[in-house]
């Protein structure tokens, strides 16, 4: 009897402990990170994100760099309190851009890179019959390569595989690599044009539908330019989305770039005008203008962006118009690209969130659609997760070396 009672007591205590842990962990407020020795380079989330944990309060006040760096913030239990930091560094030093695209490989493989591996597996089959070629075609279409480029690629592959006769995996990889590279138009000039060639600053306008990562990209680009030694001025002309100006300014502050802004809901064109004017007066090298991208109607968008463009050009010519597209939106992204291309002269594409998709084919489709190069790609939410687009590194990331 005593044994039974003892067992029950033990069971109750054990259950209580486990329950406490679960409830405790549910109730536990996330601990603030320990004060970093180097500044935190993760941008504060401006909007709820896909995959954000349910129950995470979205309206928590945003932590600024200064707050994060405050000396004496509570340390993680079990860790030694770091020495008090005298003063937070004024600005961050962004890492160089060269070689950043290599990160894509791990990020694509994390998302189970469907395109490259799928194609190689299909091409390695002993008999490449009609069904297999159809599967190859489907793989390309599913990966957003687009109808026309898919047909071209399949045709070229069929020809070359026939000539090849027996196929070793290495030969197939080389062949696929070459053909994908051709579709990416390696000869495109992908440099972001930030040099006006005049004594006025280079002017870059960033356009795209809200939510694609436009403001983040503008901030990341400012970092890259600052790292290159440029004096950068930001224009927060996205007055439509609440907090977009704050968000941009946070990015700017981190690298010591000033942000010209106006009231929420104010006239984007007048902010763009002021930014360019100030850029000229202060001898800035580059002015980056973030714009609002609400696709309410094409006419509305056209009016708004057209006006921003016109007022900028009263001061200085526009050197680059970057269209930001979210790589995870597939065909939708292409529809957006078409609309924007009708409204402004796009000179370069930035594909964001390439880390979140296995469908790298969108790069091929969107370049084909607009006839302008993908110049930059977003590989994550980290401050230095913006990479120059290099076709070779991209194909290597897709199919492995
Ligand atoms: P905007 O409305 O177009 O200005 O969009 P934001 O710049 O606010 O970005 C929307 C969300 O996308 C934010 O949570 C960003 O952190 C996120 N984001 C932007 N670029 C990338 C990227 O390359 N990869 C990932 N994973 N997220 C990104």
> DSSP for 217-232?
HHHHHHHHHHHTT--E
- 116 vs 59: which has the higher pLDDT: 116
The answer to whether the beta carbons of residues 349 and 337 sit under 8 Å apart is yes
pLDDT of residue 107: 67
For 273-289, the pLDDT digits (tens) are 999 999 999 999 999 99
**Most confident region among 37-46, 75-84, 281-290, 356-365 by mean pLDDT:** 281-290
Say if residue 63's pLDDT is above 50.
no
Q: What's the gap in Å between 212 CA and the centre of ligand 1?
A: 6
The tokens of 225 are what? 């330019």
Q: In this predicted model, what pLDDT tens digit does every residue of 198-231 receive, in sequence order?
A: 889 999 999 999 899 999 999 999 999 998 899 9
Tokens of 363: 């790069």
Mean pLDDT score, 316-344: 91
pLDDT category, 193, cuts 50, 70, 90? very high
Question: Is residue 19 pLDDT above 60, yes or no?
Answer: no
pLDDT given at position 296:
62
**Which of 340, 352, 359 should be mutated for ligand 1, with most atoms under 8 A from CB?**
352
Ligand 1 closest atom vs CA 290: 4
Note the pTM of the prediction, 2 decimals: 0.76
Q: What is the CA(214)–ligand 1 centre distance, in A?
A: 7
356 SS3 class: helix
Question: Which ligand 1 atom is at minimum distance from the Cα of 49?
Answer: 14
Q: Which atom of ligand 1 lies at the shortest distance from residue 356's CA?
A: 26
Only one residue has tokens 């030093």, namely 93
Ligand 1 atom closest to 241 (CA) = 2
Higher pLDDT, 341 or 303: 341
Query: Is the pLDDT higher at 32 or at 237?
Result: 237
- Name the residue with higher pLDDT: 30 or 379: 379
Ligand 1 center to residue 211 CA distance, Å? 6
Going from the Cα of 43 to the center of ligand 1, the distance in angstroms, rounded, reads 10
Q: How confident is the model at residue 18 (pLDDT cuts 50, 70, 90)?
A: very low
Task: Please tell me which residue, 139 or 298, carries the higher pLDDT value.
Answer: 139
Nearest CA to ligand 1 atom 18: 213
Average pLDDT of the chain, as a whole number: 77
- The residue among 309, 259, 313, 251 whose CA lies nearest residue 284 is 259
pLDDT over 90 for what percent of the chain? Answer: 46
- Are 273 and 245 contacting, i.e. CB atoms less than 8 angstroms apart? no
Please write the tens of the pLDDT for every residue from 84-134. 445 545 667 777 777 677 766 666 655 546 678 888 889 888 888 999 999
Q: Please report the pLDDT score of residue 330 as a whole number.
A: 86
Specify the ligand 1 atom closest to the Cα of 385. 23
Residue nearest to atom 6 of ligand 1 (CA): 213
Q: What is the 3-state secondary structure (H, E, C) of 148-160?
A: HHHHHHHHHHHHH
CB 296 within 8 A of CB 210: no
User: What distance in angstroms lies between residue 354's CA and the mean position of ligand 1's atoms?
Assistant: 11
Residues with CB under 6 A from ligand 1: 45-47, 49, 208, 210-216, 241, 244, 352-353, 355-356, 378-381, 385
- Write down the pLDDT at residue 113: 61
CA distances from 297 to 12, 36, 207, 265 (A): 63, 45, 15, 18
Distance 327 CA to ligand 1 centre (A): 11
Q: Report how far residue 134's alpha carbon sits from residue 22's, in angstroms, rounded to the nearest whole number.
A: 50
Among 62-66, 70-74, 263-267, 288-292, the range with the most confident prediction by mean pLDDT is 288-292
Q: ∠ at Cα 128 (122, 134), nearest 5°?
A: 70
Q: Which atom of ligand 1 is nearest to the CA of 219?
A: 7
What is the rounded distance in angstroms from the CA atom of residue 198 to the CA atom of residue 178?
Answer: 40
Residues 6+ away with beta carbon under 8 Å from 241: 210, 215, 292
Residue-level pLDDT at 356: 80
What is the pLDDT at residue 110? 53
The residue with greater pLDDT, 334 or 293, is 334
Strand-pair partners of 326 = 352
For residue range 145-166, list pLDDT tens digits in order.
999 999 999 999 999 988 887 7
Q: How confident is the model at residue 192 (pLDDT cuts 50, 70, 90)?
A: very high
Q: How far is the CA of 329 from the centre of ligand 1 (A)?
A: 13
243 CA from centroid of ligand 1 (Å): 14
Each residue's pLDDT tens digit, 339-351: 899 889 999 999 9
Give the 3-state secondary structure of residue 99. Answer: coil
Give 352 Cα–ligand 1 centroid separation in angstroms: 7
Q: Give the integer Cα–Cα distance in Å for 237 and 280.
A: 17
Bridging pattern class, strands 320-326 and 232-237: unpaired
Residues 2-17 have pLDDT tens digits of: 544 444 444 443 433 3
Give the pLDDT score at 87. Answer: 52
Closest-lying ligand 1 atom to the alpha carbon of residue 43: 16
């Amino acid at each position: 009897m005593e044994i039974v009672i003892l067992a029950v007591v033990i069971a109750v205590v054990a259950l209580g402990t486990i329950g406490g842990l679960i409830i405790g962990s549910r109730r536990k407020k996330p601990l603030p990170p320990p004060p970093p020795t180097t500044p935190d380079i993760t941008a504060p989330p401006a909007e709820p994100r896909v995959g954000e944990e349910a129950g995470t309060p979205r309206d928590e006040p945003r932590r600024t760099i200064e707050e994060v760096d405050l000396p004496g913030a509570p340390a993680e239990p079990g860790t030694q309190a770091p020495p008090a930091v005298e003063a937070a560094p004024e600005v961050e030093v962004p890492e160089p851009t060269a070689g950043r695209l290599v990160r894509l490989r791990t990020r694509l493989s994390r998302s189970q890179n469907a395109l490259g591996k799928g194609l190689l597996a299909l091409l390695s089959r002993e008999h490449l019959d009609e069904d297999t070629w159809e599967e190859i075609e489907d793989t390309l279409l599913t990966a957003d390569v687009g109808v026309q480029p898919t047909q071209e690629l399949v045709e070229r592959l069929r020809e070359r595989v026939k000539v090849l006769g027996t196929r070793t995996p290495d030969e197939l990889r080389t062949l696929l690599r070459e053909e994908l590279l051709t579709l990416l138009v390696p000869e495109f000039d992908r440099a972001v044009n930030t040099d006006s060639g005049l004594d006025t600053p280079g002017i870059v306008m960033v356009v795209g539908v809200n939510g694609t990562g436009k403001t983040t990209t503008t901030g990341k680009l400012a970092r890259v330019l600052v790292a290159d030694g440029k004096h950068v001025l930001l224009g927060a002309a996205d007055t439509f989305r609440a907090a977009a100006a704050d968000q941009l300014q946070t990015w700017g502050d981190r690298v010591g770039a000033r942000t010209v802004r106006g009231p929420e809901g104010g006239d984007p064109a007048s902010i763009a005008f002021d930014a360019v004017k100030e850029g000229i007066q202060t001898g800035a090298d580059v002015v980056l203008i973030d714009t609002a991208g609400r696709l309410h109607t094409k006419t509305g968008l056209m009016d708004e962006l057209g006006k921003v463009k016109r007022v900028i050009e009263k001061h200085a010519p526009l050197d680059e118009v970057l269209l930001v597209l979210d790589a995870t939106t597939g065909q939708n992204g292409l529809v957006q690209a078409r609309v924007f291309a009708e409204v402004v002269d796009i000179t370069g594409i930035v594909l964001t969130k390439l880390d979140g998709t296995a469908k790298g084919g969108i790069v091929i489709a969107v370049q084909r659609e607009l006839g302008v190069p993908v110049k930059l790609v977003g590989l994550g939410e980290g401050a230095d997760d913006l990479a120059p687009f290099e076709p070779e590194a991209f194909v290597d990331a897709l199919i492995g070396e």
